[in-house]
Amino acid sequence: MTSWVGRTAAEIAAAVREKRVTPREVVAEHLERIGRLDGRIGAFRKVRAEAAPAEADEVAARPDLAELPLAGVPVAVKDNLAVRDEAHLDGSAATPDTPADADHATVARLRAAGAVVVGLTNVPELCVFGTTDGVHGITRNPWDTLRSAGGSSGGSAAAVAAGLVPIALGNDGMGSLRIPAANCGLVTIKPGFGVVPAGIGNGDWFGMSENGPLATSVEDARLMLSVLADKRFENTTQGTALKIAVSRRSPLIGTTVSRPYTNALAQAAGLLAGAGHQVRRAEPPYPMSIGVTALRHWTAGTAVDAADLDPALLTRRTRVHAAIGRRFLSGVRTSDSRERLRARLTPFFAEYDVLLTPALARRAPEAASWHERGWVRNALAGSHYSPLTPAWNLTGWPAMSVPFGTLPSGAPCAVQLVGRPGSEAVLLAVAQTLETLRPWQRTAPVDQGLSSGSGRR
């Protein structure tokens, strides 16, 4: 009997369209795996054990089944986006447990394409921090269960990395797709502003947050992004020598990048140079104030999201975060700091097509109850291991995380690709080159008794 667990979304959809397997059979296999393994990982807040098979049957009965790009593909949705008839709790005890009347625009597009929502995934409270833990449990990295999956799309990333679903929907306001993707060995792309419908929280953190895919292959990331954006992202750069800048410097003063990530960067740069691209060391002109700008927007976005919630029901780190943000709200609303940052970095991206950096500075923090620890400890942990992602939320430009190499523990390492506005297809093409030249194992061997330090091909 053919197993559909561990297959790509593209493979599953093709099989369903050709009626080699039914959507119910595919969904049932994935629900069985979730029930058997997720207790060790903590990816899901809500599993749709009864609703998903019924939804799969509806897909099978559609007259346009043969044309659906995601026919019968199980998908997980981050628990800050509306799924019809389900509550989205945003990782908090303070949010209302009220079922949504309608799907978020991105969920609606996935369902229209034939995908089946099998569950909602865990997030840190209000999707604020770089570890996923809280009142709904701790989400662990399937490659190294002693470590956090990262955040805030940690549940979605862990679900895909463990083979519980082939693809998942997440979003990224300061790195919340790229951070867990880098930890869990996945491909993701934070699209540029306006490419995919946002509508995340109360104002998308001033337009910094974007919805995007989490996948095990570049093909699946491209496929899912095309559905979310309602636009095809074809590779138009084949045979073109791109100008690629390589930078290993952290934009944040006082943070450094550890050796495994700088080694991965150097090896990825070498592969791209060998593939015919013009690769050279070049440092983006990050302003010294970028850390302060990021902090002001990050906290102010949470202040807006928490404004109507009972503070007594929020965790202490979230209350402090929102309180800090309230002091910055008026200044952020009137500030031109993001426009000035874009103006400063635009000449760099006029010279270079792509920027290649480490995805993270070091491995993720331990899998623990970080929501019970103080705000300073949480903020420092996040900034020390993920200083390279926030700049591209501030600019609103596309950025990817691509698996590359391994950490000493055997868990995945990763690099980041950044491009100018409208360059999503270019970034996907570069990522495809890296995957072709240095393919990665797509899912963690969680069903083989995984513990920390497990190997990775």
**Residues marked as catalytic:** 78, 152, 176
The one-letter amino acid at 432: Q
State the pairing for strand pair 187-190/210-215: antiparallel
Extract the tokens encoding 11: 């493979």
Instruction: Dihedral sign for Cα 59, 61, 64, 66, please.
Output: positive
**Closest by CA position to 445, among listed 41, 168, 27:** 41
Distance, CA of 212 to CA of 152 (rounded, Å): 13
Distance, CA of 245 to CA of 227 (rounded, Å): 30
DSSP 3-54: --TT--HHHHHHHHHTTSS-HHHHHHHHHHHHHHHHHHH--EEEE-TTHHHH
Is 391 in contact with 290 (CB distance < 8 Å)?
yes
Reported as type and span, the H/E element at residue 58 is helix 51-60
Query: Coil, helix or strand for 249?
Result: coil
394 Cβ partners below 8 Å, 6+ apart?
208, 290, 293, 294, 297, 337, 338, 341
State the pairing for strand pair 210-215/116-121: unpaired
Is 414 in contact with 359 (CB distance < 8 Å)?
yes
Distance, CA of 399 to CA of 434 (rounded, Å): 15
Distance, CA of 436 to CA of 218 (rounded, Å): 10
Distance, CA of 29 to CA of 282 (rounded, Å): 48
Dihedral (C-alpha) 438, 442, 447, 449: value to the nearest 10 degrees?
40
